[in-house]
A and B are shown apart, each in its own frame.
Chain A
Amino acid sequence: MKFLKKRKVLDKLSFAAFVAPAITSISVFVAIPFLMCIYYSFRKWNGIGKSSTFIGLQNYMQLFTNDNIFKGAFFYSVLYTVLVVLLVNILALLIALLLESNIRGKGFFRTSFYIPNIISLIVIGFIWKFIFGRVFDSLYEATNLAVFGWSWLGDRNIAVISTIIVSVWQGLGFYMLIYIAGLQSVPRSIIEAATIDGAGSVKRFFHVVLPMIIPSIAVCTFYSMSNSLKMFELIFSLTGGGPGTATTPIALDIYNTVFNNNQFGYGSAKSVVLFLLVALITIWQVTVLKRREVEA
């Protein structure tokens, strides 16, 4: 009896020892600040005054019913997320298939395609500003192709496309690697069986390979969706949200609201909404993943 009791206490202490550092650091650096954010979302505060006023749900009502810029940011974020997730995943999968197929120098290609992903977002912004600006100007002078004369960062519609292109370019390598891992885990026996059965490669891909890499697809979709909804630094550095507010995602709108409009409480409410959006997507993805896992 005594031994068991001692065991229980030791177990509890060891649990605490293992878990305490994580709980402490997460509480101090994320949870508490976030709770403060929720607190301020119900208040009116300019961010530096020494007092704030309680206003209930006013901030939330305003952002849902009376804020065209937030609406625009919401639509842009959704559009951006959908397009980036689709493009980056399809392209990454295609390149993964290509790299896993019958080519030489697989290792070399794998390494090289990943390179854009190791560059910091600040630097990427400057790089592509140079490309869309000076390089395209020079290309236009050399070739006279209309596409190089467009205002890639200045026309409100084209700028949206520019942000998507740069994001896909930057993220491609990362998802490609995950797809390669997924493809490599497809047992050869199944593929050979399908080949013996006489299935053509396209059919083979869709009916045999694709179902087996659903976990990779789920992971990549989840990750890219969540990342795209939260995107800030790349767009900040590439277009600054412009021209006007044409490429302002929710995260940047929050930043503007807090630091340029001096509306900390309102910005906090927007942050909470963004968080809920990302949380919903995450929970949905995890549920789908778990269900698929069970089936597999």
Chain B
Amino acid sequence: MNKKLSILLVVLMLALSFAGCSKPSQETAQPTAQPAADEPVTLNFMLNSPELTDQYNDMVEAYKKAKPNVTINLQILQNDYQTVLKTKLNSGDAPDLFMSSAYNDNKVFKDYAYNLDNEDFMKDIDPAMLVSTTLDGHLTGYPFLVQSHSFIYNKDLFSKAGITTLPATFDEYKQACEKLKAIGVQPFSSGFAEWWVLPQTTYPAMSDANGGDYVGLFKSIESGSQKFGDLPQVDYALDFIDLIKENSGNKPMESTFDVQVSDLANGKAAIIHQGTWAEDSIKKINPDINIGFINTPRSDGKSVLAVESNLTFRVYKDSKNLKDVLDWLRWITTSDYGKSWIPEKIKQISPQVGAKMPDTMLAKETGTAIANKATSPWWIFIGPDGIEQPLGVAFQNYAAGSGRQETKDALTKIFVDAYNAQKNK
């Protein structure tokens, strides 16, 4: 009997040990001293925005040439990004570098992000862009891209429809829709199948809330003295959702990012609410298209382009390859390839000081909007942790058929819940 028992235990132990031996551990055993320059190092990066996969891979190859002993492993996800990142951070299997949003994510990832305060290369980042990654005076992240979003429109279709001035108020948008319909073009492709399109469509239109004092606004929402759902801007935003939905063809709730891009590129729809990240995909389908931004109107009469550096690289505080990750960031900031990566390969706006403007239509218009001070920050991210998705879902439910008061109550509630969940942390 004992013999049988021990055989079983041995089998189990063998199995477990094989599991450990079958693949070399991802964490290279590092002495606390710096590894010799020629020792092979593997860095694990976890990234989202899979539309940039080609550019990520290109960068990895370039870095291999620059530093042959360093191999960068990329894990690129979109939908499950949050799940996998959080699971990995939790289980101690953290990537050396990962991406997140700015503002509130500074708090969320506080325990995991390495403070870049004393890193020399940070002075090469435009200080205005560092605001979003600063928490309690520390630089908790490295701004990756400056992105802007608003309504992207097809210039040729607009001139065909006889729209000579860009709409700047709600009523002017309505008139533009009529003119487009008159030439048989679907005005909008809503994008409402994606929950994240809803907040990005609505919050710029609400950016005059509390006179632009967002910190004050959220303070009073957190304390309960103000209800988010009661903001007059909410009604304005809901009206806009109605307008877009009525003018997005017969299946507005099935319009995904890809449908938006394809509809705009193929001339089926004239306006989509998207950002600078979409230009590449649009041009891939229709290289001859002429697009630009129309600013998003607000109830106070001003119309804005939402510009921000929100995508942030964060370095894992306890990474065994800390020095190598920082070297990579330095390379991205100071090397020739690094300086050209964002403007030329990714074709978006770089937060680095003196960076070239990418040769894209939307980036040019972003530059103009910044110069004219017709911009709004991505202010919703100053709100409570994890608010983006419930916000999107609440608006999405409205678009799917929920009542106006019901939606306002839902909006108020998600902020109350989110702040509640943050308390005592």
Q: Which residues of A contact B (CB under 8 A)?
A: 9-10, 13-14, 16-17, 20-21, 24, 44, 46-51, 53, 62, 66, 68-69, 133, 149, 151, 153-156, 240, 242-246, 255-256, 259-263, 266
**Smallest distance from the beta carbon of B329 to chain A beta carbons, Å?**
22
Picked from A17, A149, A151, A240, the residue with its CB within 8 Å of the CB of B8 is: A17
A155 to B398, CA, bound (A): 12
Which residues on A sit within 8 Å (CB–CB) of B418?
261
**Chain B residues within CB distance 8 Å of chain A:** 1-2, 4-5, 8, 12, 79, 82-83, 86, 89-90, 108-112, 192-193, 195, 250-254, 385-386, 389-390, 393, 396-402, 410, 413, 417-418, 421-425
How near does chain B come to A250, taking the closest CB pair, in angstroms?
A: 16
With contacts A48-B108, A244-B396, A244-B400 taken as known, whether A261 is within 8 angstroms of B252 at the C-beta atoms is no
A76 to chain B, nearest CB (A): 13
Residue of A whose beta carbon sits closest to that of B398: A244
What are 27 A-to-B residue pairs whose CB atoms are below 8 Å? A9-B1, A14-B1, A17-B4, A20-B8, A46-B386, A46-B422, A46-B425, A47-B86, A48-B109, A48-B111, A49-B108, A151-B250, A154-B254, A156-B401, A243-B193, A243-B253, A243-B399, A244-B393, A244-B399, A245-B397, A246-B397, A256-B393, A259-B86, A260-B386, A261-B390, A262-B386, A263-B421
Shortest CB distance A139–B (Å): 14
Q: Which residue of B lies closest to A47 (CB)?
A: B86
Closest 5 CB pairs of A and B: A154-B253, A244-B397, A154-B254, A262-B386, A260-B389
Interface residue SS majority, chain B:
helix
Contact yes or no, B424 A49, CB < 8 A: no
- In the assembled complex, the Cα of A149 lies from the Cα of B249 at a distance in Å of 12
Other A-B pairs, 7, CB within 8 Å; known A44-B423, A154-B400: A9-B1, A10-B1, A46-B422, A154-B253, A243-B192, A245-B393, A245-B397
Q: Which residue on B lies nearest to A155, using beta carbons?
A: B253
Expressed in whole angstroms, the Cα–Cα distance for A246 and B399 within the complex equals 11
Q: What's the minimum C-beta distance from A140 to chain B, rounded to whole angstroms?
A: 10
Q: Which of B4, B385, B401 is in CB contact (< 8 Å) with A262?
A: B385
| B90 near A48: Cβ-Cβ < 8 Å | yes
Contacts of A20 in B (CB 8 A): 8
Give CA–CA (A16, B5) in the complex, Å.
Answer: 8
B192 to A, closest residue via Cβ: A243
Residues of chain B contacted by A266 (CB below 8 angstroms)? 421
CB neighbours (8 Å) of A13 from chain B are 1-2, 5
Q: Please, how many angstroms separate the alpha-carbon atoms of A205 and B312 in the complex?
A: 67
Give CA–CA (A21, B79) in the complex, Å.
36
Q: For the complex, give the distance between the alpha carbons of A213 and B5 in Å.
A: 43
CB distance from B100 to the nearest CB of A (A): 11
B421 touches A149 (CB 8 A): no
Q: Which residue of chain A has its CB nearest to the CB of B80?
A: A259
Chain A residues near B89: list those with CB within 8 A: 48
Q: From A62, A69, A244, A260, give the contact of B82 (CB < 8 A).
A: A260
CB atoms of A53 and B424 under 8 A apart: yes
Docked pose: A48 CA to B113 CA in angstroms: 12
Q: Among the listed A240, A255, A263, which residue makes an inter-chain contact with B83, where contact means beta carbons less than 8 Å apart?
A: A255
Q: In the complex, what distance in Å separates the CA atom of A149 from the CA atom of B253?
A: 13
Partner of A259, one of B83, B399, B422: B83
Closest residue of A by beta carbon distance from B259: A133
Asked whether, in the complex, the Cβ of B1 is within 8 Å of the Cβ of A259, the reply is no
List the A side residues contacting B385 at CB < 8 Å: 46, 262
User: Which of B12, B252, B386 is the most central at the interface, judged by chain A CB atoms within 10 Å of its CB?
Assistant: B386
- Report whether B425 and A49 are in contact in the complex, using a CB–CB cutoff of 8 Å: yes
Please give me the residue from chain A that is nearest to B385 by CB atom: A262
Which of B4, B195, B413 has the most chain A CB atoms closer than 10 A to its own CB? B195
Of the candidates A66, A149, A243, A260, the one having the most CB atoms from chain B within 10 angstroms of its own CB is A243
Question: Provided the pairs A44-B425, A149-B250, A156-B400 are in contact, do residues A17 and B5 lie with their beta carbons within 8 angstroms?
Answer: yes
Tell me, in angstroms, the Cα distance from A48 to B112 when the chains sit together: 9
Q: How far is the CA of A147 from the CA of B147 in the complex (A)?
A: 41
Residues of B within 8 A of A262 (CB): 108, 385-386, 421
Q: Enumerate chain A residues within 8 angstroms of B192, measured Cβ to Cβ.
A: 243
Give the chain A neighbours of B413 by CB distance below 8 A: 66, 68
B396 contacts which of A133, A155, A242 (Cβ < 8 Å)? Answer: A242
Q: How far apart are the CA atoms of A266 and B390 in the complex, in Å? A: 15
CA distance A158 to B302 in the complex (A): 39
A260 proximity list for chain B (CB < 8 A): 82, 386, 389-390
Interface contact A263-B112, CB-CB below 8 Å: no
Which residue of chain B is the closest to A50 with respect to CB atoms?
A: B111
**Quick one: given A260-B386, A261-B386, are A242 and B425 in contact (CB under 8 Å)?**
no
B392 to chain A, nearest CB (A): 9
**Docked-complex contact B12 and A21, CB < 8 angstroms:** yes
A261 touches B193 (CB 8 A): no
Question: Distance in Å from the Cβ of B91 to the closest Cβ of chain A?
Answer: 10
CA A182 to CA B395, docked complex, whole Å: 49
Q: Which residue of chain B has its CB nearest to the CB of A58?
A: B420
CB distance from A244 to the nearest CB of B (A): 3
Which residues of A sit under 8 angstroms from B90, Cβ to Cβ?
47-48
Contact yes or no, A153 B254, CB < 8 A: yes
Which of B108, B252, B254, B396 interacts with A46 by CB under 8 Å? Answer: B108
A259 touches B82 (CB 8 A): yes
How many Å from the CB of B416 to the closest CB on chain A? 9
Chain B residues, Cβ within 8 Å of A240: 79
